[in-house]
């Protein structure tokens, strides 16, 4: 056990977060995301019993967001014609604002198929049990300045 580290962050996940360098990206994926398919060249970490908000909050306690890009946090854009509500995005805005002064302005969106293409290039994918639709979120790591 370590002090000051959220208990949800497993040793495997902490190792991966530590290994990641500036500009490396990770996806925290909902339960419908093809994590193993997209993560063939990435580290895939299973966290099936957890939702994305609790994982995101814990990660952002130890993971700096990139300050050299306008949108270090990206969501999968809702496909045209899909009648889907995305209340979880508001939760992501609140969590991001607690850990990054840019708040909601640090969050962008990537078209669904472009998101999949970007996901194939990330360092790690965290596969969760999140049931909300369009809940996938991609984070870009910044520099530790403290």
- State yes or no: is 22 an active-site residue: yes
Total-model pTM: 0.96
Model confidence pLDDT, tens digit, residues 13-47: 999 999 999 999 999 999 999 999 999 999 999 99
Name the catalytic one among 24, 50, 99, 116: 116
Q: What is the pLDDT along the chain (146 residues), one digit of tens a residue?
A: 688 999 999 999 999 999 999 999 999 999 999 999 999 999 999 999 999 999 999 999 999 999 999 999 999 999 999 999 999 999 999 999 999 999 999 999 999 999 999 999 999 999 999 999 999 999 999 998 87
CATH number 3.40.1650.10 is the correct assignment for the domain at 22-140: yes
Residue 32 phi/psi, 5° resolution?
-90, -10
Instruction: Return the domain boundaries, the chain.
Output: 22-140
Residue of 30, 57, 66, 100 marked catalytic: 66
């Amino acid at each position: 056990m370590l002090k000051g580290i959220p208990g949800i962050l497993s040793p495997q996940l902490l190792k991966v977060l530590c290994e990641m360098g500036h500009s490396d990206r990770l996806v925290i994926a909902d339960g419908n995301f093809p994590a193993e398919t997209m993560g063939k060249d990435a580290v895939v970490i299973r966290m099936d019993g957890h939702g994305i908000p609790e994982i995101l909050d814990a990660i952002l306690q130890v993971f700096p967001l990139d300050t050299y890009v306008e949108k270090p946090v990206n969501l999968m854009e809702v496909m045209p014609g899909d009648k889907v509500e995305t209340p979880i995005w508001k939760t992501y805005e609140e969590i991001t604002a607690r850990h990054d002064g840019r708040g909601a302005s640090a969050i962008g969106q990537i078209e669904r198929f472009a998101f999949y293409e970007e996901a194939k290039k990330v360092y790690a994918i965290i596969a969760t049990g999140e049931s909300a639709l369009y809940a996938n979120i991609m984070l870009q790591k910044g520099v530790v300045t403290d």
